[in-house]
Structure 1
Amino acid sequence: MYFEILGSNHPEAPTVVLSSGLGGSAHFWKAQLPALESRFRVIVYDQNGTGRSPGVLPSGYSIQSMATELLALLDSIDVSHCHFVGHALGGLVGLQIAVERPELLQSLVLINAWSSPNEHSLRCFRVRKSLLDNSPPLMYLQAQALFLYPPDWIMQNIDMLEQEEQHMLESFPDKHNLLARIQALSEFDIEADIASITTPTLIVANKDDMLVPWQRSEVLAGFLPNAELAVYEYGGHACTVTTPDVFNDKLLTFLSN
């Protein structure tokens, strides 16, 4: 998989791994990099079958598959301890790693993530799959913005958003891979094992998230014995993009403890 190691070259600098949501792109974290790079060694990557990591995802592809791929990458570059920050799908990957390799994680940050399927999110995923099957790619991208961002943020940033959508349209991801990744999201359920996770965890949720009910973060916090829950009124599903200063301040405070 394509990856970059950014930030501090100091041998004692702690490592932060950033794992994106359904889009899978390292580019998702551009608003966090300036806040992290002066103090941390930062690892970003394009998930398998997305962006600069081309490939056809196999049958039965799952969140566990994604965790296995990332663990192989981290092992290959000798990462033995790290802070893990995951948005949505990336948070699910972090939960899977916390179960399989708890000794790797110094801390875990879960942004609008969940531990098991819920009917609202499943309905959203079915809509996205139908758009992939039955609509032009631009309609999928425009609907994606509705799931990710608050309405007023879309209005205020429409020029930037349309430019970004045009860029994404020119390199639209493989439909098979997207469907496989949505299916992996839809099937993820770690509640039988989650109570074993003792990693210090920050859970971030937004009450105006249109994709994942913020109460799913409350459920996560109830399962995890060393969890801190931060719930915000505004930010939407992609609060790392829409309210980066608020998110970055909370992230840096947590990572500094």
Structure 2
Amino acid sequence: MKRPAHATRGRYAPPVPRRTLDVTSADGSRLYAEVHGPEGAPAVVLSHGWTCSTAFWAPVVRELADTHKVVVYDQRGHGRSPAVPPAGHSTRALADDLVAVLEQSLAPGERAVVGGHSMGGMTIMAAAERPELRARAAAALLCSTGCADLAAESRVFPLPSPGGRRLAHRLLLGSRAPLGPVSPVARWALRYATMGGGSSAEQIEACARIVHACPTDVRARWGMVLYHLQLTRGVSRLEVPTAVLAGTADRLTPFVHARRLASVLPRCEGLTELPGLGHMTPVEAPDAVAGRLRELVRDHLATAPSSRDERPAGRQKKEKAA
């Protein structure tokens, strides 16, 4: 019997949403979205990464939904969002989809803290210059992500030269090889590539089920978007207060990416360093991720500052979380 595409019990099992939405993007693509938590509470909108789904945010949603309205959605081709033609895979499409979710899940005039993990963080960067994002986003959190040079700086294949790493990671990102069932070997490979050494068996199993459920063509097409990624301009134009969070043992987007983002963001709200954690921070450290989102809500949404100039541009602080 085929295993479900997510954990079905415990902290990593997706909670039942208060309601679901069928969001329509700019090109007509449909997106599956969920709304958790009480209507009228401070809103948080979360965007998942490559090969994942709404289920990836389950432990963070569980942390926040008692006191926050939490919106999660499946990126096109992932989870319950239908696949799209090859031309529909681009950073522009990611930005279109995020804007559509914000416009169709929030009430008129409602603002939210937006959070993105990996490709979800790139989604926020891609939408940086969209007026809809600037109108709707009170603040942002970028988790375990980067804006450029992913293939050359990744350490899944720790080859000595950038050219060698670029080639090896291009083959990884563009691969259409089936991942097969979630076996002990598959769990080991996923933990090595994406998680810290201290990850629990429950965390590894939850991530493996989600990643293995991603269709092969979807994985490969978005993988090539990541290979060609160039969003440095987007980061420099992301004018909402933005915090960065990353694990120091991340092989897919090594910590150098987090430092680079913090140095380029116009209104950096701090770099949170998670020692020994890998790429899957919302699963490996949901308390830290949810806590940072709560802080951004407290500082930029609940209090509704009247002017973006109330906080000095480029402010950075370095934080550590266990």
Please report the RMSD computed on the Cα atoms of aligned residues, expressed in angstroms: 2.5
The aligned counterpart of 1:232 is 274
Looking at CA atoms only, which structure, 1 or 2, has the larger radius of gyration?
2
2:147 maps to: 115
TM superposition shift of 1:146: 2.2
Q: Secondary structure at the match of 2:56?
A: helix
Q: Distance in 2 between matches of 1:111 and 1:37?
A: 19
C-alpha distance in 2 between matches for 1:167 and 1:190: 26
Change (3 A) 1:167 1:28: closer
The partner residue of 2:180 within 137, 142, 145 is 137
Name structure 2 gaps, 5 residues minimum. Answer: 1-30, 155-165, 300-322
Identity in percent: 24
Asked if 1 retains the 8 angstrom alpha-carbon contact of 2:63 and 2:287, the reply is no
1:126 partnered with 2:170? yes
Q: Structure 2 matches for 1:30-179, cutoff 5 A? A: 30-59=58-87, 61-79=89-107, 80=109, 81-101=111-131, 102-118=134-150, 119-121=152-154, 122=166, 125-129=169-173, 132-133=176-177, 136-138=179-181, 142=187, 143-153=189-199, 156-157=200-201, 161-162=204-205, 165=208, 169=212, 172-179=213-220
Cα drift, residue 256 of structure 1: 1.4
CA distance in 2, matches of 1:225, 1:166: 37
Find runs of 4+ consecutive structure 1 residues off by over 6 angstroms.
Answer: none
Does the aligned pair in 2 maintain the 1:98–1:105 contact within 8 Å?
no
Deviation at 1:131, TM superposition (A): 5.1
SS of 2:59 mapped into structure 1: coil
By how many angstroms is 1:193 displaced?
4.1
Matches within 5 A, 1:180-191: 180-191=221-232
Higher mean C-alpha deviation, range 190-199 or range 232-241? 190-199
Change (3 A) 1:224 1:136: closer
Q: Which has the higher helix share?
A: 1
CA distance in 1, matches of 2:271, 2:219: 30
- SS across alignment from 1:84: strand
Q: Deviations over 1:170-208 (max 9, x none)?
A: xx3322211111111122212234322221011002111
Whether the aligned pair in 2 keeps the contact of 1:7 and 1:40 (CA below 8 Å) is: yes
Q: Normalising by structure 1, report the TM-score.
A: 0.85
The superposition leaves residues 109-144 of structure 1 with CA deviations (integer Å, 9 ceiling, x where unpaired) of: 0001112124033566435346533x6534895433
1:233: how far off? 1.1
2:4 maps to 1:5: no
CA distance in 2, matches of 1:109, 1:55: 27
Separation (CA, whole Å) in 1 of partners of 2:247 and 2:208: 24
CA pair 212-124 structure 1, distance change in 2 beyond 3 A: farther
| In 1: Cα distance, 2:203 partner to 2:52 partner | 20
Cα distance in 2 for residues equivalent to 1:51 and 1:82: 23
